[in-house]
Amino acid sequence: MQREEAAVSDVTGRLWEMVEPYVADEGIELDDLEVRGAGPGTIVRITLDGEPPLGTDRIARLSRGLSRLIDAADPIPSSYTLEVSTPGLERALRRRRHYEKSVGREVRVKTRAPVDGDTTHRGVLEDAGAEEFVLDVDGERRRIAYSDVARARTVFTWEKSAKPGTRR
């Protein structure tokens, strides 16, 4: 199992080195890249971010270019499925850059061990530093080290609007 994980990590690193300059030339940020599975069931997920937000036509064009780039370099020893997308309304926070871009947003964090007595934290991300981030949970500031995070994601809250035909 460890050998498979090491192989996936090596492939992920090689893919990152290929994909990042390619999308940077297009003025787009490589937001995330992950390789899941092994053998013919391998999935390569590439998440791109840009301003203005990327439309479906541009994502499709980039997906075709990335597929050609990956096929030419052949870093994956079997067939694979390529998924190219944008972060979306709710997004996983896996890298420090994700936290930096999410400052001011509501997030939900699960920690491996209790921080201030809890392992589940939901609040507004106030700051993202080099080793830790600060979360405002109901007026209480919690400092959480990135290394303590089991999983984290932004939270999208739908704002209720008035029912049609009612006055405000």
The answer to whether the beta carbons of residues 85 and 58 sit under 8 Å apart is no
Same domain, 76 and 121: no
Same domain, 66 and 9: yes
How many CB atoms are closer than 10 A to CB 155? 13
The answer to whether the beta carbons of residues 23 and 2 sit under 8 Å apart is no
Same domain, 39 and 100: no
pLDDT tens figures, 71-88 = 999 888 888 999 999 988
The answer to whether the beta carbons of residues 110 and 149 sit under 8 Å apart is yes
CATH number at residue 53: 3.30.70.1350
Same domain, 55 and 116: no
Domain boundary among 85, 115, 134: 85
Q: What is the pLDDT of residue 102?
A: 94
Task: Match 């997920």 to its residue by tokens.
Answer: 45
How many CB atoms are closer than 10 A to CB 69? 14
Q: Is residue 164 part of a domain?
A: no
Q: Is residue 132 part of a domain?
A: yes
The answer to whether the beta carbons of residues 72 and 25 sit under 8 Å apart is no
Parent domain of 37: 2-85
Which of 55, 56, 48, 57 minimizes the C-alpha distance to 27? Answer: 48
Q: Torsions phi, psi of 14, nearest 5?
A: -65, -40
Q: What is the pLDDT of residue 1?
A: 39
Q: Is residue 131 part of a domain?
A: yes
Domain boundary among 85, 114, 144: 85
Q: Is residue 166 part of a domain?
A: no
The strand pair at 42-49 and 80-85 is best described as parallel
The low-confidence residues of the chain, meaning pLDDT below 70, are 1-8, 162, 165-168
CATH number at residue 110: 2.30.30.100
